[in-house]
Amino acid sequence: MSLRSAVSIFLFTGLSCVSSLSGAAGIEEAIRPIQDEWAVIKYHTPDKQQAERYHTLSQRAHQVVEANPGKPEPLIWEAIALSSEAGAKGGLGSLSIAKEAKQQLEEALKLDDQALKGSAYTSLGTLYYKVPGWPIGFGDKARAEEYLKKSLSLNPGGIDPNFFYGEYMFEREHYADALHYLDTALKAPARPGREQADAGRRKEIQALITRVKKQMEN
């Protein structure tokens, strides 16, 4: 399977002032602009412009990583930006970007596999089922399912782990299971400060539910 599109110029005013803050609240403040801009690119930016803007975002995220050594959250968001860039770029040329994202996620898991409610598992599992398998890429359906299930165990009611596992089930043609997880994702509680991302994701979920139901009718 070829890489699919997973997912405004980045305005990161005052990055150097917030990126090295200590403590959980400091890390949340440091990554918040990255999260917000990712949602703008993903849900409000024309497809042709997304790859370049994700690239800029990943560079900004890397600055936060360097300013906060040993913290998994910035690594996860750098990886999300990189994997989104790979998906938007597409083709074999994006595999090196996907591999870089994989490395960042694996490093984040070593530091704290429960950071951001297991988001590294969610993103890594998604990479494993969207990237082509051997001999082209590192894609692996079995490992994808392992990581996605792990993310669900850490955040069983979360919008993202349920959406991506539902999408994975749809790709595997397990439509009843897909519908179950997508329905759970749609009912997930709102995430404070992530309103734009939640709104965009819910639209994706509803669109995929429609596709699932259509397949179940056939």
pLDDT per residue of the chain (218 residues) written in tens, 0 to 9 = 433 333 332 222 233 323 334 456 689 999 999 999 999 999 999 999 999 999 999 999 999 999 999 999 999 999 999 999 999 999 988 999 999 999 999 999 999 999 999 999 999 999 999 999 999 999 999 999 999 999 999 999 999 999 999 999 999 999 999 999 999 999 999 999 999 999 999 999 999 999 999 999 98
Q: Alpha-carbon distance 84 to 50, whole Å? A: 9
pTM attached to this predicted model = 0.88
Characterize 73-82 residue by residue with b for buried, 16 or more Cβ atoms within 10 angstroms of its Cβ, and e for exposed.
bbbbbbbbbb
* C-beta of residue 132 within 8 angstroms of C-beta of residue 139: yes
Q: Which of 156, 217, 211 lies closest to 187 in space, CA to CA?
A: 156
